[in-house]
Amino acid sequence: MKDSQDRKRLTINRKRGLAFQPPGKEGTHSPVSTSPLEVVRSSGRLNQHKQDRVATTNLERKITQIVLNKLDPEEVLPEIAATLGSAYGVEYCTIAVMASDRATIQTAYCYPNKTPAPFSQNPTFLLKYLNIAAILASSEPFAISDVGATGTAFSQNEGWEDLPSGVVLAMKTQFQGQVNGVVAIMRSKPHRWTASDKERLLAVSDSIAMAISQINLQRQIVAASGYQALLNQLTMAIRSYTDLEQILKLAIDGTARTLQVDRGAILLLKYTDPLVNKRGFQKRVSRATEATVVCEWPTFIPTEGNQNVGTLLNQSFCLSKCYLCLEAFANAPNATVIADKHSVPNDDIGVGIAPIFDFDAMPALLLVPLESQDKVLGFLVLQQRQPRRWLREELELVELVSAQMSTAILQFQTLRQTSALVEERTYQLQSILKVQAKLYEKTRQQVDQLRQLNQLKDEFIDTMSDQLRNPLASMRMAIRMLRQPGLSPDRQAKYLEILDRQCTQEINLIDDILALQQLESNKSPLHLQKIDLKQIVESLADSFEKKWGSKGLSLTLDLPKRPLMLQSDPDSVDRILQELLTNAGKYSDPDTTVHLCASHELDGQNPQIVLTLCNTGPGISPAEQDYIFDKFRRGQGVSEQVIQGTGLGLALVKCLVQHLNGTIAVCSNPLSHSQSWSTCFTLTLPQIQA
């Protein structure tokens, strides 16, 4: 600036014909002679200064145009670096973006024009060996005459001597009083940086600072938009999804992609005591039995090249054996932030680190607890292959994501417990309803049974009334007639016969009831004898044919030639056959034939006799066949047909057959071209060899 003022004074004095006076001595007005050579030199300096000023203005204008025209913020700084490198004619130019609150390089962009290999492969190669603190402390551009020599601007990092020879000019950038970047240009050949080079870099540093600030602002807007989109997506997923695994996978995928980390995972803790609380840190850790990886990013896809690598999914480890998890557990609900593994003192790592973290390959770690109601549910894990400074905005995002994930986990656990409780209560209710249905069915059956028993009682009373009153009425009439004077002997004999017959009928009825009661109570003794069933059948056939004569019934026998020997109770067998024949006679149509067939059969190793009695007449419906052998049961229509009976005959037959270890069955089928049915009773009795 002093040279510029001097040049201005020189020009003014020349126009006035005065010699140039140093500052502070303008009032002497002493004429000084000036040589033509000095005038030429002064004019050259003025022209050079104007050219430098124009070049600087053009460079600032180009930088401004780049900022205004480039839509993608990631293209702005590389374009500015290329423009700056081209303006200076250097082989290397880098612009590094730095954190506002710490001298830490976030990203760097370089202009590699015939740059040596280290610079083209890594834009921060030169910055790695510069003493950034010294550059930031200087308010003027920092000129380095030889990068191969140890200077004040270089750190003493190992490997700085490997830098190629050359010269460097570096300058910090500031916006609103805060450092936001570093600009460095380099020539591979010796070069002397002029004052104009420094002035130009100093002049454009403000434009670069504004560009960096603009880019940072755009990045923040894009990042904030991405953060909000991620949170909105998680919120919608929690509302819509019912599968926790989908929600956790969406959370870790979205967070890892948004923050551009190399690996992410979600760990869930399993407690032996589900009622554990936050009081007593050591007690809580001892009860957390294990941590399990339930989600990972990127998703592991097995290939031939990575079969030995494996996936973290479903891997478990004991929480108390991992230093990182213990620290995160102790710091909950705050996140455990590790920018570089070297920041963790080795002396503190006494219990080791779980292998899943691979701390050597992933030195940067962010471990955020998933907590709800003072209980740590798990951890959100984010890792980087290079050291990384985790920004405040990133930490806030991860904390919000972890809060939503904690809500989702708690919601899922509550829903699962509620569903299990509902299923249990539903099962219990269904069991109760089944029991109630069974009780209702049992009650209904009992009611039906009581109704049937009541009906049977009524029928029994009606039947017994007829069976008792009718004989008694006949007996009473016979007694009255016998009391009449002058009754002839024939008439007396007739009435005495009526008395005897009706009395016998009453006695037989009472005997049947008593016999049935004894059989049901198993109090009736058996008198086993060797009998010939063939003889019993033949003797009964003659007597029944005489009884059936008035009805026109006939009886045909189909008996084997050899005897049908049985070891049985003869009275019981005789009573069974009599009741069956009596029943057949009652329910046969007039002028029909009753068929009785007997044969030998072999049931395995047990010989037996099968007797079948068939008649033609009113049939027995399938519904009636189920209870035809019950007490006091009579077929439908017997009352209308005035068929006498008590309903005890077939019940007595069944009891007697069971008493003899035999079986009896009935079948009734309608005859074709007729209204009559064919009804057959099949009696099976065990046989002994003759």
DSSP-derived letter for residue 319 is G
Instruction: Supply 515's token pair.
Output: 């016999």
Say how far residue 72 (Cα) sits from the centre of its chain: 44
Q: What is the rounded average pLDDT of the residues 66-70?
A: 81
Instruction: Supply 184's token pair.
Output: 């460095």
* Model confidence at 408: pLDDT above 80: yes
Q: What is the dihedral of CA 604, 605, 609, 615, to 10 degrees?
A: 0
CB 406 within 8 A of CB 374: no
Contacts of 454 (CB under 8 A, 6+ apart): none
Per-residue pLDDT band at 150 (split at 50, 70, 90)? very low
Q: In the prediction, which pLDDT does 596 show?
A: 93
DSSP 540-576: HHHHHHHHGGGGT-EEEEE--SS--EEEE-HHHHHHH
What is the chain's mean pLDDT, rounded? 78
Per-residue pLDDT band at 286 (split at 50, 70, 90)? low
- Cα–Cα distances (Å) from 370 to 150, 315, 398, in that order, read 50, 18, 11
Phi, then psi, of 34 in degrees rounded to 5: -120, 135
Q: How far apart are CA 137 and CA 143, in angstroms?
A: 14
Give the relative orientation of helices 489-520 and 649-659 as an angle to the nearest 10 degrees.
50
CB 170 within 8 A of CB 153: yes
Q: In the prediction, which pLDDT does 8 show?
A: 43
Residue 619 is which amino acid? G
Highest mean pLDDT of the ranges 100-104, 296-300, 461-465, 618-622: 618-622
Segment 229-271, tens digit of pLDDT: 888 888 888 787 778 888 888 888 988 888 889 999 999 988 7
Burial of 662 (C-beta count, 10 Å sphere; 0-12/13-18/19+): buried
Q: What is the rounded average pLDDT of the residues 662-666?
A: 91
Q: Which residue has the higher pLDDT, 171 or 45?
A: 171
Q: In the prediction, which pLDDT does 203 show?
A: 87
Q: In the prediction, which pLDDT does 185 show?
A: 85
Segment 549-590, tens digit of pLDDT: 888 999 999 998 888 888 888 888 998 998 899 888 888 999
Of the candidates 526, 616, 624, 523, the one whose C-alpha atom is nearest the C-alpha of residue 575 is: 526
Segment 588-630, tens digit of pLDDT: 999 999 999 999 887 767 888 999 999 998 888 888 888 788 7
Lowest mean pLDDT across 197-211, 457-471, 538-552: 457-471
- Cα–Cα distances (Å) from 174 to 109, 324, 564, in that order, read 17, 38, 129
Lowest mean pLDDT across 261-265, 394-398, 482-486: 482-486
Q: In the prediction, which pLDDT does 597 show?
A: 94
Q: Which domains, from first to last, does the chain contain?
A: 1-32 (no CATH), 54-223 (3.30.450.40), 241-390 (3.30.450.40), 525-686 (3.30.565.10)
Cβ neighbour number for residue 545 with a 10 Å cutoff: 15
Q: Which residue has the higher pLDDT, 301 or 619?
A: 619
Q: In the prediction, which pLDDT does 91 show?
A: 79
Q: What is the rounded average pLDDT of the residues 160-184?
A: 76
**Measured between alpha carbons, how far apart are the two ends of the chain, in Å?**
151
Highest mean pLDDT of the ranges 130-139, 191-200, 256-265, 276-285: 256-265
Of the candidates 119, 123, 131, the one whose C-alpha atom is nearest the C-alpha of residue 155 is: 131
Beta bridge partners of 529: 568
Segment 307-321, tens digit of pLDDT: 444 578 888 888 888
Contacts of 186 (CB under 8 A, 6+ apart): 90, 91, 92, 93, 119, 126, 147, 166, 167, 168, 169
- Cα–Cα distances (Å) from 189 to 95, 126, 149, 183, 194, in that order, read 21, 16, 14, 19, 15
- Cα–Cα distances (Å) from 9 to 50, 51, 401, 495, in that order, read 16, 19, 67, 179
The H or E element containing residue 21 is none
Q: In the prediction, which pLDDT does 109 show?
A: 66
